[in-house]
Amino acid sequence: MKKINLDLLRKLSLLLLIGVFFGESYGRLVPSGVDDRNTRQIRKASAFIGEKRPHLSLKERERLAVLIENAALDLKLPNRRNGKSWDKLGFLLGVIQTESRFHTKAKSHKGALGLMQVMPDTAKWLAEKEGISFKSAKELYEPELNLHLGVLYLNYLIERTDSIEAALLSYNAGLGGYKRFGGIPSYSKSILQYYEEFQSFTWVETRIESRLAGLYEF
């Protein structure tokens, strides 16, 4: 009997396990709770986040993309000057990239925290106003709560200003600050620039990435 090549046997076993792994994952390519029609947008957002923060794992990118997409649904954006609707996901991605560069633990020198750089006092006021549980500033490092409060605050400002640009400048400087000195124009320009970048963003998704992403349940 010929001697068995153990090296070859190990490789064949590994290939068999990979085949079983992907076979079992077939049909579960969409994270739990995500509608099929939104999947491509989430994949696009994940790739966009990965370009901005390449050290994030695929799982981390996918999780952020799903949370941001869900939060974006609550944005109350008026139509643009050309009458077209905003891409809410792209808009929120632009805000987050400008505010924190997708760092969930970001902290500004003024004390703003998390993805959307929410001030603890603003968070406390919004939480009391909307009946949301909020016990500590550290909770703003939790992406889901941070996004929820950040979107609520944006909606509040949109209702009290006469344009998206004014609402964004107020988000950065505070409503009182905006009314006093007008805010920093480069801030809103940055968000709109990233918004347009996301609209034209293209990426090549590998087959392995597509399959692995579907194994994560959030």
List 99, 128, 130, 196, catalytic entry: 99
Determine which helix (DSSP H) or strand (DSSP E) holds 95, and give its type and residue range. helix 88-99
* Closest to 76 in 3D by CA, of 129, 133, 153: 153
DSSP state of 5: -
Strand spans (E) along 60-173 = none
Candidates 186, 170, 189; CA nearest to 178 is 170
Give the span between the Cα atoms of 61 and 46, in whole angstroms: 5
Is there a catalytic annotation at residue 69? no
CA distances to 46, 114, 137 from 96, rounded to whole Å, are 13, 9, 19
At position 96, the amino acid (one-letter code) is I
Bridge partner list, 118: 113
Which are the catalytic amino acids?
A: 99
